[in-house]
Structure 1
Amino acid sequence: MTHILKTLAIVAALALPGAALASSDDRPVAEDVRASIVTTLEAQGYQVFTIESERGGYEVKAALDGRLWELRLNAAYEITRTELED
C-alpha cells in the first residue's frame, strides 16, 4: 500500500508542471479577433458558440448542419482540424 501511495505522489508531482505549462499559453481572445473568427466561420455556415486561444491558434466550438464541432484554427483563422463532438 505504501508503494502505491509513493507511486501516485510521484505521478502527481510530474503531471502538475505539465498542466501548468499547457495552460500558460492560453489567454483571452481579443474582441476584434473574436469578431473576425465569427465572421469567417459564419461565412462557411457555422454558428459559433465559444472561442479560446490555444497553442498559438484558436479552439472553437461551433455548429454546422445541426451537429456540434470542435474546430482548431491557426493564427490566420484557417481551419486546421475538425472533430465532431458527441
Structure 2
Amino acid sequence: MATSTSTSTKLASPVAHAIASQNAAIDAALRDNFNRTVAMFDRVRDYFVQLSTARAAFRELSQLNDRELADLGIARSDIRNVVRGKFPTRV
C-alpha cells in the first residue's frame, strides 16, 4: 500500500501543479480586475468632488457684488471661466 500511495502522489503531482498554476492565474486576474474597478470608482469619486468644489466656488463668487469682484480682478461674466480654470491671468 505504501508503494501505491507514493505512486499516486507522483502521478497527481503534475495535475496538482497545473491546478495550482491555474488557481494562481485566476487569483492574479481577479486581483487585477478588482484593482481596476477600485481605480475606476476613485476616478468617479474624484470627478464628483471636483464638480462639487467648482459649484461651491461658482456659488461663492456669484454672491459677491461687482466691486468685490473688481477687487479680485474679475468681471461677473468671467466667473464661469475662473471656476473652470480658463481665465487668463493678468501680470
TM-score > 0.5 by shorter chain: no
- Band the TM-score falls in, shorter-chain normalisation: 0.3 to 0.5
Q: TM-score, normalised by structure 2?
A: 0.32
Q: By percentage of residues, which structure has more helix?
A: 2
Q: TM-score, normalised by structure 1?
A: 0.33
Q: By percentage of residues, which structure has more strand?
A: 1
